[in-house]
Structure 1
Amino acid sequence: MPEKIKITSSHWVLVIALLVSGFACYLLVEPYINSIVMAFIISMLMFPLHEKLDNLMPTHKNISSLLSCIILTFIIVIPLLFVFAAIVQQGSKFSQNVYQWVTHGGIQTLFNHPLVVKGLALANQYLPFDGINPQQIAQKIAQFATSFGTNLVGISAKILGDATNFIMSFFLMLFVLFFLLRDRDTIIANIRHILPLSRSQEDRLLDEIESVSKSAVMGSFLTAIAQGIAGGIGMWLAGFPGLFWGTMMGFASFIPVVGTALIWIPTATYLFLTGDTTWAIFLAVWSVAVVGSIDNLLRPFLMQGSAGMNTLMIFFSLLGGIQLFGLIGLIYGPLIFAIAIVLFNIYEEEFHNFLDNQDNS
């Protein structure tokens, strides 16, 4: 039997001091916590490749870790630069076309469509707010289009700022990743030593964290990439800039419930109202049958590593994760749920006699 530990007042002081200092350390690293967490997750994904490099250079752990980070940089950064440049080019061209369409009466033609006129009339009749005036809407859209150049400068500045922040976060993540890959065994051994659990329980907890982290990344980001590619192809066939709108659909796929419909429904509606009925039907069918099926089939398949989590749990973990943490919540949400499930199972095992007696009483 394991030796019983007698808890003294000095132990409580030590525990409280440890919690306070731990919270203070968290406050210090909190601005960089997303980069640190992503480094942990990517280290799990990269470890099979790093292990091969480590076996080739068993006495040069620094070099093998550096090579792993360099390989990751080429895999992520270089393709992103080309994609970003193409998105900016296509987005700028598309914006210019929208500007020309609005300033040359396209919006007026759209509002004169019989279905739009009928829809606005029904809205004005039954909806409990002030009447919708097509002329006012057209005027505001025209004003926005007229000031588009100024808006574009502001948008470009924000994109540049976001890109700068992304680059800084990425290199911070690489810095953390280097040490995680190099000192992986030491870090895991220290975590095992600190956790007050049996070796089998530690294995279950760490395995579940690794499994869910991988499946969350694969399920969310690979699904977004696949939907972006499929949606971009459909948009391109319908006559829109494929790379730009495919990227927008990829980002929209992260939004629970609505997803890519946020992009393709307005686009298909626009095509229908402007007379391109065939392409409107094609885009709607393509988006439902192809793009939608990717989300319904690929995401659950890739996230099947979330052991013990049914579809409802996965849904709320993604929804709540985005609500609390933003985009990174797609990883945090399932991870928090999975850790809670494992801890609950451990609790059930440790107190099974008490729980059985409670059931029988």
Structure 2
Amino acid sequence: MENSRRDGDEGWLTRERMLAMILILITGLAFYLCYRLVYPFLPALAWALALAIITYPLHRTIKRYLPSESVAAGAAVVIVALIIVAPSMLLAQRIALEATQNIELVKTEAAINRWQAVIERNRRIAPVAGWIDKHFNPRQETVRFVEQIRSHIPGFVTGSIGVGIQLLITFFALFYFFRDRYAFLHLLRSLSPLSHAETERVFARVVDTVQATVFGTLLVAIVQGFLGGIMFWWLGLSGPVLWGVVMGLLAIIPILGPFVVWVPAAIMLAIDGDWGKALILTIWGGVVVALIDNLLYPIFVGGKLRLHTFPVFMAIIGGLALFGASGLILGPVVLAVTVALIDIWRYRTAAGRKADTDAAA
């Protein structure tokens, strides 16, 4: 009787519960510290995960001829690195060269006077140009803008070193994602509070989202930038590689696109009197480049993403703002996982099933 009363007086906060709460706090602190340790390398890990997903068929093919897991993973990483790094280095060198040439071209007095003469020949825009020149002094502002760009070049070089380090970490992580793929998946399944079928559903949604983002966004943007740069080169415009890359980057951002570059270029060609080139650039940009998105996106993505355009837009923009460049992958992945978990909760509550019930995919 006294023992039961003593147990009742102890209340809810028993020694076992207190130890459990302390363990939860320590575990939460440990996870937070681990997150802080990994956070600087989050972009590298995100791109390593994306590469592991989209290049898994390559690794699987290599494993057929190289039975050793480590050798097969190393060979796959080398091939992926050569495909990505070699063209990227050549492209970066060309961009730096064209950027320097364009900066010097803009700074020259001859280039400024040339556009001034073009504006003065067009009577309709001459008054507007005169008002702009009087109130804003475009010549001085242009030189100031160019000097600001030049001042950021050392920072760009430093950033390039950081990008190189992130690339090394990406390929280092990619090796282990290839080699220990099944061990990682088994660990995630063992830690997941979901049933086996529900966990597989979340995994499938992540894979589909990554493939849709890489193929449907990045690959389409690369094609659009390539086509835009080809037209700049064919028309004899300066910096075709530089502006092609800029158009590709703008194509990644929803709402924006390559038109931000080719529309002003077409206008300047028209003002300069090159109506033929202006018309060709307008038709190429407005028809060919613009329709590439509508043509290739359904081919590459199909029904994999299965998300509304507006949430995807918010996920990409929010991901870029929160995670930087890796947000292009992490933003849609976070959204896809969230939607998958909501679907699982809705399925359970609607059907009255328990967590250990295997839900049909």
Q: Could you tell me the TM-score, scaled by structure 1's length?
A: 0.84
Shift of 1:107: 3.6
Change (3 A) 1:41 1:74: same
Larger Rg: 2
Spell out, residue by residue over 1:95-134, the C-alpha distance to the aligned partner (whole angstroms, 9 max, x if none).
333333655512422443333335568xxxxxxxxx7444
Shift of 1:326: 3.1
Spell out, residue by residue over 1:274-310, the C-alpha distance to the aligned partner (whole angstroms, 9 max, x if none).
1112211221221110111112332354344544312
The answer to whether the 8 Å contact 1:102/1:141 transfers is no
The answer to whether the 8 Å contact 1:44/1:214 transfers is yes
Aligned to 1:340: 338
CA RMSD, 1 decimal: 2.6
Indicate yes or no: 2:27 matched with 1:18. yes
- Give, in whole Å, the separation in 2 of the partners of 1:259 and 1:188: 37
Judge which range, 201-210 or 318-327, deviates more.
318-327
- Give, in whole Å, the separation in 1 of the partners of 2:318 and 2:149: 33
Spell out, residue by residue over 1:313-333, the C-alpha distance to the aligned partner (whole angstroms, 9 max, x if none).
323322332333333222122
- Give, in whole Å, the separation in 2 of the partners of 1:272 and 1:348: 57
Spell out, residue by residue over 1:166-199, the C-alpha distance to the aligned partner (whole angstroms, 9 max, x if none).
1110001111111111111111001000101111
Equivalent of 1:174, from 166, 171, 177? 171
- Give, in whole Å, the separation in 1 of the partners of 2:321 and 2:142: 34
Report the residue type matching 2:103 in the other structure: S
Aligned to 2:321: 323
Shift of 1:223: 1.2
Shift of 1:66: 1.3
The answer to whether the 8 Å contact 1:321/1:332 transfers is yes
- Give, in whole Å, the separation in 2 of the partners of 1:296 and 1:321: 24
The answer to whether the 8 Å contact 2:50/2:329 transfers is no
- Give, in whole Å, the separation in 2 of the partners of 1:305 and 1:165: 37
- Give, in whole Å, the separation in 2 of the partners of 1:295 and 1:189: 38
Aligned to 2:8: none
- Give, in whole Å, the separation in 2 of the partners of 1:347 and 1:119: 61
The answer to whether the 8 Å contact 1:306/1:338 transfers is no
Aligned to 1:260: 258
- Give, in whole Å, the separation in 1 of the partners of 2:197 and 2:112: 70
The answer to whether the 8 Å contact 1:110/1:116 transfers is no
Change (3 A) 1:218 1:142: closer
- Give, in whole Å, the separation in 1 of the partners of 2:287 and 2:344: 42
Spell out, residue by residue over 1:35-88, the C-alpha distance to the aligned partner (whole angstroms, 9 max, x if none).
111111211122221122223232x22222111111111111111122222223
Report the residue type matching 2:138 in the other structure: A
Aligned to 1:235: 232
Gaps of 5+ in 2: 1-15, 354-361
Indicate yes or no: 2:192 matched with 1:195. yes
Report the residue type matching 2:217 in the other structure: S
Change (3 A) 1:154 1:172: same
Shift of 1:155: 4.0
Indicate yes or no: 2:91 matched with 1:83. yes
Pairs within 5 Å for 1:102-181: 105-112=113-120, 113-117=122-126, 119=128, 132-134=132-134, 136-141=136-141, 143-144=143-144, 153-181=150-178
Pairs within 5 Å for 1:305-324: 306-324=304-322
Indicate yes or no: 2:104 matched with 1:96. yes
- Give, in whole Å, the separation in 1 of the partners of 2:302 and 2:315: 14
Equivalent of 2:39, from 8, 21, 30? 30
The answer to whether the 8 Å contact 1:107/1:138 transfers is no
Aligned residues with identical type, % of pairs = 25
Equivalent of 1:251, from 249, 255, 267? 249
Change (3 A) 1:354 1:13: farther
Change (3 A) 1:75 1:234: same
- Give, in whole Å, the separation in 1 of the partners of 2:51 and 2:218: 13
Indicate yes or no: 2:95 matched with 1:50. no
Gaps of 5+ in 1: 1-6, 122-130, 356-361
- Give, in whole Å, the separation in 2 of the partners of 1:190 and 1:104: 63
Report the residue type matching 1:202 in the other structure: T
Change (3 A) 1:101 1:265: farther
- Give, in whole Å, the separation in 2 of the partners of 1:30 and 1:236: 41
Aligned to 1:297: 295
Shift of 1:225: 0.8
